[in-house]
Structure 1
């Protein structure tokens, strides 16, 4: 096992919203939240380079981050609370009481800032010291935890671990951007469109899915088991992380090739000309995966989540706080993926799945709770390619007054079957793709990814 750099803990404190903050005392979970009740936490890591050595990390940066986190929690009070499951309640709730707060760890790390914030090969275990653990027990779970870590005069990182049953990627990113904005200008207040909306009545649940999903979790190790302990996947040693980039040129090249091939087809349908960058990029990742795994029989499964706010009827406001994710699964024949027109097939199937979400976002929703409980029972059995994050979140805009992030990583996406997607600080890049594989596989995958553009 490799010898990793060491972490030195400087401080662990609790940051609370100002006592004047007016906040409801509890927030019930919806069925969209309950899907993720015992799913592993989501961990994001933001790397910031010091613009000069004159800014003191301990005397300026840390106090600034703490004070503005408190101010931000005025608007995001549930993040300072805890998830509990009262004995008299059918579903868990986020409970906030005076004095609650977010755990913030301050640390120093003797690792290589530029190595970890680069795109090259890095062991997944190297990132673990930089993200905090979420305080969770049988009957209580924190919502988020934060860690600020200084590297030797090169920069610092902000690691954020959040409970997926409370917030999805959109809500999480909104909080981070609000904190960054307030850190840059303390008097700033989120606009009405940015201010988190806590009104649970915007989520219609005529089928009582919340109680149905809650019952599934209670029966998992039940009966009537109201445990809030999270199901944490085992980290396999030796896994390597790398970042690949889809440039505008890559996407355009693929799109033109696909359209030219479609036009050659006698049954060409002009409506299929509209292909999203998401469909092209993920279809390409499916092709690369099929090539890496070689000529094996059967199907390749690809699943992805999408924001349900704009897809539900009536629509849910974009500033709704909580989870509002819907999902789709695409089944692809491996031998067809490896054919000359494999990317066209994959692109068509993914595009069709996206359109189906627009028409029937909640199709099959009665089974979502039981499907997720089975997944968390043994993550390693799941061999469906899936995604974490989205380039639409704009995480590289999270400037706390120290410049935009040098790099953003989704640390919790460390399965060989999970690709993480973010935007990029590079304007030539449409999206960054985080890939995790064993060492011999990651080298081969990167080669397949890069060489595929050369033959188009």
Structure 2
């Protein structure tokens, strides 16, 4: 672990599953996993207030978290293993050996709990001490790592780093919620639909995409580069993080404004559905275009979508691993800055979603080479993208000490990436994470808030 003056390291231990664990000891990666082979880890941070001053962090909370983690690993045995890529294997796989386990760090921080768990401006570097580094080398990579940090007598955080090449957001948050449930009730047994499904045969790969993607990675700095080291983007110094909210009222007002404008168009299809996702992300695209001003060319927007329900046959929702497809669209900047910019963006994003529904794997032969090249040099990625999803329900992760006060996706540290989560506030549809330089952040927040005001007052947004 790097040296952080605000952090006091208490313990680093290994939490192993009980010997009666019933899960595969070896698990191959599919082409869905291999897309993310050297992508940077996903780091989530859950903040919890202490339920009372009587509950001891070191004597009660940490032991309960350790014991329940061990019990949860009975069902998630691959998380305790390591990713390997032997010379004789065409594709990497996860292996679990007796004695393997998950690294857990216990620490104490002098930082301000309520500052970090708030929505205001916070330096992105302030979160780095609170999430663990994922143990990775050329030959071996851990699947997850965990850090539990106490903040004086105010609360604690659980930081989780997971290898994106092994599990996606649905799988990782399913694990977290199972761990939380078992922490509350050690005898809890997940239902068959809650248990992770390891059957790789549910992922059809008639074109042998797994080998094609593996070869794409080997050819990067190759010709036979089987390194499991991860590629990290360069985080610009001085960036700040803030959380904005889409309330139910915000979304409804935007939807009404868009529909009223469309109804005036005789070609309007009244049966067409406008999703909250399309409205919210269209709004973010317009806010970004306004912040960046009158630039020429296109603004690109890309997003990952769960493919489980889009594949034929469908993949069960409890499938363990990655099962993501990508959608994208390009938007003319000058059109985004017009009065109807949000309508244009909403229409194009909705089309991109429908396109995935009609053919989720179209163009999949090229995904491996595209991802390997992009991950090797993140600076080439100039599209707006998303991290997380409000559908994961991360604010339901209650370990018996109350629901999270705040959840952050720490690894989303680019101005081009907007983390999305649900919210503890019932009036909020989703929380949006924004990372910018401080002066840009102030301008973005103003644009974001003034845009709602202009729609509520039925003014032209392009005049704001």
- Taking structure 1 as the reference length, the TM-score comes to 0.98
Instruction: Say whether the 8 Å CA contact 2:274–2:350 is kept in structure 1.
Output: yes
SS in 1 for 2:271: helix
Partner of residue 406, structure 1: 405
SS in 2 for 1:66: helix
1:96, 1:318 → 2: CA distance?
A: 24
Partner of residue 101, structure 1: 101
Within 5 A, what are the aligned runs for 1:42-57? 42-57=42-57
- Displacement of 1:267 after TM fit? 1.9
Within 5 A, what are the aligned runs for 1:2-41? 6-41=6-41
String of CA shifts for 1:151-197, please: whole Å, max 9, x gaps. Answer: 01000000000000000000000000000000001100111111000
2:165, 2:347 → 1: CA distance?
A: 32
Instruction: Say whether the 8 Å CA contact 1:5–1:109 is kept in structure 2.
Output: no
1:140, 1:449 → 2: CA distance?
A: 44
SS in 2 for 1:331: strand
The alpha-carbon distance between structure 1 residues 270 and 166, as it changes in their structure 2 partners (threshold 3 A), is same
2:222, 2:127 → 1: CA distance?
A: 35
Residue ranges of structure 1 left out of the alignment (5+ in a row): none
2:317, 2:370 → 1: CA distance?
A: 27
Partner of residue 325, structure 2: 326
2:101, 2:266 → 1: CA distance?
A: 63
Within 5 A, what are the aligned runs for 1:238-317? 238-272=238-272, 274-317=273-316
Partner of residue 349, structure 2: 350
Residue ranges of structure 2 left out of the alignment (5+ in a row): 456-464
String of CA shifts for 1:262-294, please: whole Å, max 9, x gaps. Answer: 00112222233x100000000000000000000
The alpha-carbon distance between structure 1 residues 449 and 4, as it changes in their structure 2 partners (threshold 3 A), is farther
- Displacement of 1:382 after TM fit? 1.2
Partner of residue 458, structure 2: none
- Displacement of 1:233 after TM fit? 1.0
Partner of residue 442, structure 2: 443
Instruction: Say whether the 8 Å CA contact 2:17–2:101 is kept in structure 1.
Output: yes
> 4+ residue stretches of structure 1 with deviation over 4 A?
none
Paired residues in the alignment total 453
Partner of residue 91, structure 2: 91
Instruction: Say whether the 8 Å CA contact 1:166–1:322 is kept in structure 2.
Output: yes
SS in 2 for 1:443: helix
- Displacement of 1:5 after TM fit? 5.7
Partner of residue 429, structure 1: 428
Within 5 A, what are the aligned runs for 1:34-433? 34-272=34-272, 274-433=273-432
CA RMSD of aligned residues (A): 0.9
String of CA shifts for 1:104-132, please: whole Å, max 9, x gaps. Answer: 00000000000000000000000000000
SS in 2 for 1:58: helix
2:404, 2:21 → 1: CA distance?
A: 30
1:271, 1:307 → 2: CA distance?
A: 25
Instruction: Say whether the 8 Å CA contact 1:4–1:126 is kept in structure 2.
Output: no
- Displacement of 1:22 after TM fit? 2.7
